[in-house]
Structure 1
């Protein structure tokens, strides 16, 4: 995800793939299935994500429980908007993307445009 480092992305994936708030210890256990990380490393990543506005935290007993501040789709759309805004030629970027889009992606874009037109 644009604006996130590799470990920050992994932590966000763990949160987005969960249906409930997660603690540092829970995410650490998940991440340590494929790598060896220290508790303090993951805690620092969560602190950074909180400071950047990617996660909300709530203290329960003696541990923070974290949830994403937005869905994965909303974060991706925000990143795409930032990319378009900074490109200097958003129309060109969109046209290049449209040419490379799969049939399923093209159908999804058409559905989204139809819904947009039908909004008041």
Structure 2
């Protein structure tokens, strides 16, 4: 697992919150402050310091850009959800060694009809 990989469900939840806040921004500002992320995760009953620790960890992994805004920071995802998913999939495939083909066959064999249609469309667009 590379240092950029997500290590837990909490990191994933914080990134999901950032992507959601970023997509819903009406003021043109990208990303969100630690307080905004914490507020968006209020149903998880997390301490503010826990959210800040996770944001700092994600920034150190280079998954977020930290931009100074007054006395605080805004956190902006470096990649979209789709881009990060693709990177994690490539990392997983790279870890299969000689079994890469078998891993792909297993993945496709368990894919839903919707996923297979999306994969066929993506492959057609590359041709």
Same fold by TM-score greater than 0.5: yes
Partner of 1:107: 117
Note the alpha carbon deviations across 1:10-64, whole angstroms, 9 max, x for none. 11010111223211011111112x2222222111111110000110011111110
Aligned counterpart, 1:95:
105
Normalising by structure 2, what TM-score?
A: 0.84
**Alignment size in residue pairs:** 115
C-alpha RMSD over aligned residues: 1.3
Question: What is the DSSP-based 3-state SS (H/G/I as helix, E as strand, rest coil) of the residue aligned with 2:6?
Answer: coil
Gaps of 5+ in 2: 24-29
2:53 is matched with: 44
- Structure 2 counterparts to residues 51-70 of structure 1, below 5 A: 51-70=60-79
Gapped regions of structure 1 (runs ≥ 5) = none
- Counterparts of 2:48 and 2:118, CA distance in 1: 41
TM-score (normalizing by structure 1): 0.88
